[in-house]
Chain A
């Protein structure tokens, strides 16, 4: 039963208020992309044991999508942040580094 703080409305939201939306920071590939690019965009999800960046929606709350940095083996939450970002902000990455030195995710470190 996770608690995630919604960065928009500030509520520490119960998991039952939230909808999980899978991997964050996907880059969309549309017409003009190769089959491999499109395939990876649609299906090749990161599934790490450890640090993960993912999307959530405060569906039974303010309705906003946001991002969370979370550990999939301990469920520790390193921080939540705006969904309107292309990659985790430095403060979030620092927060992860403080707890999981040496972490990596995609090409982020």
Chain B
């Protein structure tokens, strides 16, 4: 693989960029792989990457129904934070955040991780207590956060209106090393690195069946023919239920739409990510200048990647309350993704009832920020059978009544 650098760009400029290689190969599938990963989104590609990097397992295929990075990896609002309340969540999100810090150098692909800081506003007494609790928990989890005053909030975000007549800002949970990254680049960077390790990324290849022999996985049937494998990892946000049923087991989750929107680009006016959970909206400004805005999920099972407009109205209304100047901006584009949501709204990263089949799904609205940590833990689980990062996220927790509930800390949206 030719390394990317400013020198490489300069060299190529002199020959009109005719010498760039493909970022990833486009191979035909072999008959057998040690590991098949279904889903070439961020989670699937990251899992493959760390299987290779950490465990030397490179006879790997990543199979993708559409185009790589084309699911929720390319549809989210790119927020990265790890200020979670519960220990297992904080562990995996902080692992992810830490890996994001060096991901560009690790992958030699600029994913533009921007630790610009994340503010979560407290607008009720209850939220103040919730975020103070999170701040205390984070301190013991090794996650650097602090609860800051309204005045500090205004310094960090000059466009905010602290004194909204309905829900004045009473403080905020501040994670200075949270931020954003370029979502597509995360998928592309991992894909390029996987391809460079000799892994096969097979796009436009839909899995139509999972072959199980003697209680263990034998391979998958695809639109491009059957492929055998020793281990199978399923990382298909939104479609996990469909795939698990092919393997003969069910997952405790439902698929719903999550929407987002962007404004037209304007000159930089907000350098951090702000989340306002009482009024249900969050916003950041991309490096292109667009205000990137999101809210909560729609309520019903849905596979259309379209949401309902009244949710957009509610989100925009919340942001106008929080940042009145937003009223004079215009919505450029809205879109939706399909997220899968479990009974406690935390993910499942687990072995399954079928031998050597592993599942990683149910990230709900929190998928993007977890990608490197999720991939790291999933790779460990698939390679060794155990990972401290993932062990709390088993399928079995629902049977035992041992949930990982993040909503308790007043935190709603991701």
A-B contact pairs, 24 of them (CB 8 A): A1-B310, A2-B300, A15-B308, A15-B310, A20-B299, A20-B300, A22-B301, A35-B399, A39-B252, A39-B399, A44-B250, A45-B253, A47-B253, A47-B301, A48-B241, A49-B239, A52-B301, A54-B300, A72-B301, A72-B302, A72-B304, A73-B303, A73-B304, A74-B304
A-B pairs with CB below 8 Å: how many?
Answer: 56
Residues in A with CB closer than 8 Å to B309 are 1
Within 8 A of B (CB), among A30-51: 35-36, 39, 42-45, 47-49
Q: Does A16 make an interface contact (CB < 8 A)?
A: yes
> What is the CB-to-nearest-CB distance from A90 to chain B, in angstroms, rounded to a whole number?
24
- Residues of chain B lying within 8 A (CB to CB) of residue A16: 308, 310
Of residues 206 through 263 on chain B, the ones whose CB sits less than 8 Å from some CB of chain A are 239, 241-242, 250-255
Find the B residue at minimum CB distance from A19: B299
Task: State A2–B304 Cα separation when bound (angstroms).
Answer: 13
Contact A47 B399 (CB under 8 A): no
B167 CB–A CB distance under 8 Å: no
Assuming the A-B contacts A49-B242, A72-B301, A72-B303, are A42 and B343 also in contact, with contact meaning beta carbons closer than 8 angstroms in the complex? yes
Is A98 located at the chain interface by the 8 A CB criterion?
A: no
**Additional 11 contacts, C-beta under 8 A, given A42-B398, A47-B340, A49-B242:** A16-B308, A19-B299, A20-B299, A22-B301, A36-B399, A43-B398, A44-B252, A47-B242, A72-B302, A72-B303, A75-B302
Min CB gap B317→A, angstroms: 13
CA distance in complex: A1, B250 (Å): 29
Query: A: which residues have CB within 8 A of B?
Result: 1-2, 15-16, 19-20, 22, 35-36, 39, 42-45, 47-49, 52, 54, 72-75
Given A16-B310, A73-B304, A75-B304, are A43 and B343 also a contact pair (CB < 8 Å)?
yes
Q: When the two chains form their complex, are residues B301 and A39 in contact, meaning their CB atoms are under 8 A apart?
A: no
Are A43 and B252 in contact (CB-based, < 8 A)?
Answer: yes
Closest 5 CB pairs of A and B: A20-B299, A43-B252, A47-B241, A20-B300, A43-B343
B303 and A22 form a contact (CB under 8 A): no
Q: What is the bound-complex CA distance between A50 and B287, given in angstroms?
A: 39
Q: How far is the CA of A2 from the CA of B257 in the complex (A)?
A: 13
**Interface bits B334-350 vs A (CB < 8 Å: 1, else 0):** 00000010110000000
Residue-wise, chain B 303-347 has the 8 Å CB interface mask toward A (1 for contact) of 110001110000000000000000000000000000010110000
Q: In the complex the two chains form, what is the Cα distance from A16 to B255 in whole Å?
A: 20
**A16 and B308 alpha carbons, distance in the complex (Å):** 9
| Chain B residues, CB < 8 A from A19 | 299
CB neighbours (8 Å) of B304 from chain A are 72-75
Q: B254 to A1, Cβ gap below 8 A?
A: no
From A45, A48, A74, give the contact of B252 (CB < 8 A): A45
B399–A49 CB distance below 8 A? no
Contact B308 A1 (CB under 8 A): yes
Separation of A36 and B395 alpha carbons in the complex (Å)? 12
Compute how far the CA of A74 lies from the CA of B302 in the bound complex, rounded to whole angstroms: 9
**Contact between B303 and A49 (Cβ–Cβ < 8 Å)?**
yes
Bound-state CA distance A20–B250 (Å) is 22
For the complex formed, measure the closest distance between the CB of A26 and the CB atoms of chain B, giving whole angstroms: 13
CA of A47 to CA of B300 in the docked complex: distance in angstroms?
10
Min CB distance, B126 to chain A, in Å? 23
B300 → chain A closest CB, angstroms: 4
CB distance from B412 to the nearest CB of A (A): 17
The one of B254, B308, B310 in contact with A45, judged by C-beta atoms closer than 8 angstroms, is: B254
